[in-house]
Amino acid sequence: MRSLAIYAAAAATATVLLSGCAVLPKSGSGHDKLEQQADALKTTPAARNADAQQRLTDALATIYADSTVRPLHYYSKFVDLNGDGKREAVAYVVGPDGCADGCDLYVLARDGDRYEAVSRIPTSRAPLYQLDHRDDGWHDLLVTMLGDAGGSDRQRMQYAGGGYVPVDDDRTEDAARTPLIPNLDGRGHAIPATTGDRGTADRP
- For residue range 4-36, list pLDDT tens digits in order: 333 333 333 222 333 333 333 333 333 333 444
Is it true that the peptide bond before 127 is cis, omega within 30 degrees of 0? yes
- Helix/strand/coil (H/E/C) assignment for every residue in the chain: CCCHHHHHHHHHHCCCCCCCCCCCCCCCCCCCCCHHHHHHHCCCCCCCCCCHHHHHHHHHHHHCCCCCCCCCEEEEEEECCCCCCCCEEEEEEEECCECCCCEEEEEEEEECCEEEEEEEEEEEEEEEEEEEEEECCEEEEEEEEECHHHCEEEEEEEEECCEEEEECCCCHHHCCEEEEECCCCCCCEECCCCCCCCCCCCCC
pTM of the model: 0.73
> Do residues 16 and 100 touch, judged by C-beta distance below 8 A?
no
Q: Hey, what amino acid is at 118?
A: V
Q: Which of 64, 1, 3 is nearest to 30 (CA)?
A: 3
| 67-92 pLDDT, tens digit each | 888 899 999 999 999 999 989 999 99
Q: Please, what is the average pLDDT of the chain?
A: 73
| 103-134 pLDDT, tens digit each | 899 999 988 778 888 999 888 888 899 999 99
